[in-house]
Structure 1
Amino acid sequence: MLVVAIVALMSFLGILTETAMNTTFPTLMDDFHVSLSTVQWVTSGYLLTAALIMLTSAYMKRRFTNRQLFVWGALLFSVGDLLCATAVVFPQMLLGRLIQAGCVGLCTPLMVNIILDVVPRAKLGVYLGIANLIILIAPALGPTFGGALAAMGSWRLIFWITLPLALVLMVLGQSQIKQYTKAQPLAFDWNRFGLLATALIALVVGLTAFGDGHWALAFGLLALMLAAGWGFLRLSRTSTRYLFSLRVFHEPAFLFIFLPYITLQFANVGLNFLLPNYVQDVFSATALVGGLILLPGSVFNGIGQPVYGWMLDRFGGKLPLLLGASLFTASILVFAIFGPALGVAGVTWVYLVFAIGRSMAFSNSVAYGLKGLPKDLQNDANALYNTGQQVAGAVGTTVLSLMMTMINHPGWSKAQQVTAGSNAAFWLLVALGLVVIGLFWRLLKPQAA
């Protein structure tokens, strides 16, 4: 657990800076003179870059040692910290965030892979819950951390404060992290990686182009995404180099968990972006209050992880997965129906229920899916879970930010326009919540609880 804690704390720093930046968007827009659709790339670009690195994690686990992967993650985080803290133009800030994404991209899959190496299958739920407890404290602290620093000092302190912590963890990791499986000299499949990376980037950039009204560019990029995806599948039939195994998609334990997993992440990251900006625009709250509304829910999101994992190990999948998805959907339905009438306090309480339900279903999705897979496919599934999580987060931030600002009704105030756009986003998430419940029910129906 000491090794897992060190790696998890490194991921914690990456997620802390990611969630802290969400509450600083209005300040960044003023400081760098950029639009919301541009500044959201601080989050979307970060998540997309992390996704591309996570895509290689099954290969990385087999090719390099745990210590090498950890040290590189810590170095990338530290370099990104320096670039962001000293940024004088937005491109420098964005470059720093993209480099920093390498930390989460390397360390988050590494943490799970180490657990898979040493923990018995019957206890995966509890141990993954403990590891997630460390990581998920970051979203609890991030918005408040970022909002407080933006209000009382400067958003640059987010990076100056985390830099020495990253260096300390790098030193600890070098002395404590060990190797549990033998590294293999595998050949990396650059062609398939390039095609899949092209598809993912074209998807996210294409969605952004839609929001900016660049229709020709948007349709062109989405066509490129389809072409690159088709090329990836075609090349996968004959490739002899290693990226990850597509055999996992033939396993129901993976497929019917993977789809809800990425849907829950889409909703979570998108809502974590939307709500702090929503209360600032609709209720005239400060950036600090925008961060504080997420704090109670995020705390329960983190501290509940070991309990949710124990529920899975003790009672099976039905209780935590279906109960969690139901709480998740019901809370968003409240946002959709009563949003403007809730006020800041109401938003805080409803988000608390959302966070408990989403966390219960989301964290147990991975544990339940990995438990049902053969040992030789677990690293590949982990790579896809992590990649899907990051891509869904990037798409969620992009789509919900576009929906939030898509209403431009003449004569309406900004608060009225944001309210209408956000309400459309809430109803989209309600529909996705119903899909998640249906997929879980399809997977769990033939089984005993």
Structure 2
Amino acid sequence: MEAKKIYTEKRPKYNAKAIMFVLLLGSFIALFNETILNVAFPKLMVEMHITATTAQWLTTGYVLVVGILVPVTAFLIHTFTTKQLFLSAMVLFLIGTLCAVFSSTFTALLISRIIQALGTGMLIPIMMNSALVVTPPEKRGSIMGLCVCIITLGPALGPAVSGLLLQHFSWHSLFVLLIPILLICIIGGYFYLENISVITKPKIDYLSILLSTIGFAGIIYSVSSAGNSSLLSTAVVFVIGFIALIFFCKRQLSLKQPILEIRSFRHPIFAIGVLLIILMQMFNFSINVILPLLLQNGLKTSSFTSAMAILPPILVGCVLTPFVGKIYDKIGGSILIPLGFLVACIFTFMLSRISPSTPIRTITLIYCAIMVGTSMSMSTTQTTSLSELSGKNQADGVAIVNTGMQIAGALGSALFVGVMTAYQNIYLKNMNSGADPSSQVKAIYIGFSRSVTVAAVLIGIGFILSLILSKKSRTKDSVK
């Protein structure tokens, strides 16, 4: 009742539709940009003389910077107005995009991507916090479904659109496409955005930022380089990152105004929900990296064909996620979440069994089924998790969830590309026939199979945890 009262008092001050349209469009284009280069990796590898593991840092580095910035944005939201933050983010994004258009080397392109990520890192928390403020509690399932649809659709649609453009233009055109849309977002933000946050001018703890940067970067880098670096160096970097995260968590517990309120994990439903989101997002993000690599390098398809192969599953996810949100508003997530994980697990395992003789349409259909499971589980898990927290802690919950999603994307991309590359290299080394075309194709499929098998195991673990989440949710509802 209290949440509804607060909403009723504040709602007349906001033009909710205009605010959410601008924020959703800006967030979509930023997330779309995360994976826009995925289909171009084979061309970039040849043009810039880099490996697949190096090329994926154009995506992993982008997501890593976003993940590091998300918790910082929780402070920025209470320091600057919504309009100031949004316009600053979009201008940074535009500067990075212009730099990418004129990049000719891997280093220049990576720096451009990092500049873009500095803008993207602010956009996702702004969108999620705004959605919670301007939407009544009884409709949060629907609006969260729409937000998660944007978060899922953006990265998923990037490879499809870029695959179409690369048929006729160079990879630079991918960034040229973004410029007019970014200008529209900046103009719309200037005229329609209102401030919906309470300005409290909190103090930012720079040591926490340093520790989180070292922690997340160390872990992501160690996983990403596992296939090409020595075991000792990989282990050292991982341990440094892990220790930094431990100190980061301890510091958050000692601060009066932590950069990330990790005490929210004391709520079992929230803690399990965040873990489920991470497990699903790891593969949901990464499949659009490794599948184009398989299709283009294994089946020797064009970028256009690989884009068309992943487009139908993307559309399935786009249509289903808001619809599932409406169902959640009526029946909750105790059935939807476990069922979604089960469906995703079964068909992910099926995807790991494909061979060079498997038709592309079969691969597409399996991916569509995976997206059905993803649509049933992602937004519902997120809504269930955030609903567990009190109103004053929901902003921290949003920061934690979005940090988890961004880091999961970076970690998943590094993990699955790393596993795929490692097994591919092991096969070629054992066969001692690296130049043989048939061996190259076989190696790619073996690497893909092992990578997706790991994903199926992780999603299977998610299914078990979702049953526990469902049981705890039902127990809590019965107590009420």
Question: Quick one: distance in 2 between partners of 1:330 and 1:77?
Answer: 38
Corresponding position of 2:160: 144
Aligned counterpart, 2:418: 402
Paired residue for 2:459?
433
Distance 1:238 1:17, change over 3 A: closer
The answer to whether residue 58 in structure 2 is matched with residue 73 in structure 1 is no
Cα deviation per residue 1:193-251 (whole Å; 9 max; x = unaligned)?
Answer: 21111100001111223221233321211121122122223323322344121210101
Does the CA-based 8 Å contact 1:139-1:298 persist in structure 2? no
Q: TM-score, normalised by structure 2?
A: 0.90
Q: Identity of paired residues, percent?
A: 25
Matched, 1:114 2:140: no
Q: 2:442, 2:376 → 1: CA distance? A: 34
Alpha-carbon spacing, 1:135–1:215, altered in 2? closer, same or farther (3 Å): closer
Tell me, in whole angstroms, the C-alpha distance in 1 between the residues paired with 2:462 and 2:355: 22
Partner of 2:404: 388
Residue number in structure 2 paired with 1:190: 206
| Counterpart for residue 284 of structure 1 | 300
Q: Tell which deviates more after alignment, 334-343 or 22-31.
A: 334-343
Give me the whole-angstrom Cα distance separating, in 1, the residues matched to 2:312 and 2:261.
39
The answer as to whether partners of 1:3 and 1:177 remain within 8 angstroms in 2 is yes
Q: Paired residue for 1:209?
A: 225
> Take 1:236 and 1:355, find their aligned partners in 2: how far apart are those partners?
36
Q: Give the letter for the 2:160 counterpart.
A: T
Structure 1 CA distance for aligned equivalents of residues 248 and 149 of structure 2: 36
Larger mean Cα displacement after TM superposition, 117-126 or 346-355: 117-126
Please say if residues 416 and 452 of structure 2, whose CA atoms lie closer than 8 Å, have aligned partners that are also in contact: no
**Residue 310 (str. 1) matches residue 326 (str. 2):** yes
Higher deviation after alignment, 320-329 or 39-48: 320-329
* Equivalences for residues 179-258 of structure 1 within 5 A: 179-258=195-274
Bigger mean CA offset, 32-41 vs 57-66: 57-66
Q: Give CA deviations for 1:83-140 in whole Å, capped at 9, x if unaligned.
A: 1110011111001111111232111111110011121222111112233444544345
Q: Check the 8 A contact 1:311/1:319 in 2, yes or no.
A: no
The size of the alignment, in residue pairs, is: 449
Q: CA deviation at 1:281?
A: 2.2
- TM-score, reference length from structure 1: 0.96
What is the CA–CA distance in structure 2 between the aligned matches of 1:354 and 1:277, rounded to whole Å? 19
Q: CA deviation at 1:438?
A: 0.9
Which AA in structure 2 matches 1:416?
A: K
Distance 1:383 1:97 in 2: 22
Aligned match of 1:124: 140
The answer to whether the 8 A contact 1:4-1:131 is kept is no
1:327 matched to 2:340? The reply is: no
Which residue of the partner structure matches residue 11 of structure 2? none
Answer yes or no: is the 8 Å Cα contact 2:156–2:285 preserved in 1: no
Matched, 1:417 2:443: yes
Output the amino acid matched with 1:445. Answer: K
- The separation in 2 between residues aligned to 1:257 and 1:265, in whole angstroms, is 12
Judged with a 3 Å threshold, the aligned counterparts in structure 2 of structure 1 residues 363 and 31 are, in CA distance, closer, same or farther, namely: same
C-alpha distance in 2, partners of 1:334/1:104? Answer: 34
Q: Is the alpha carbon distance of 1:95 and 1:308 closer, same or farther for their aligned partners in structure 2, counting shifts above 3 Å?
A: same
User: 2:82, 2:195 within 8 Å by CA — same for their partners in 1?
Assistant: yes
- Structure 1, unmatched stretches of 5+, are none
Q: Residues 161 and 337 (structure 1 numbering): CA distance in 2 closer, same or farther, change over 3 Å?
A: closer
- State the distance in 2 between where 1:161 and 1:234 align: 44
Task: Identify which of 117, 120, 126 aligns with 1:101.
Answer: 117
Shift of 1:446: 4.2
SS at 2:166 equivalent: helix
Q: In 2, are the aligned partners of 1:5 and 1:131 still within 8 Å (CA)?
A: no
> Structure 2: how far apart are the matches of 1:447 and 1:379?
21
